[in-house]
Amino acid sequence: MRALFLIPKENPPTLEGNFSKSYKEFVAACLMKDPEERQSISVLLKHKFVNHKKKTSFLVDLLDKYRKWKNENDDEEEEDDDEE
How far lies 6's CA from each of 15, 16, 28, 37, 80, in Å? 19, 20, 18, 20, 44
3-state secondary structure of 39: coil
Domain segments of the chain: what residues?
Answer: 1-52, 54-84
The one-digit pLDDT tens for each residue of the chain (84 residues) are 887 887 778 888 888 899 989 889 999 998 888 888 888 888 888 888 887 666 667 778 888 999 999 999 887 666 555 555
DSSP character for 31?
T
DSSP 1-38: -HHHHHHHHSPPP---SS--HHHHHHHHHHT-SSTTTS
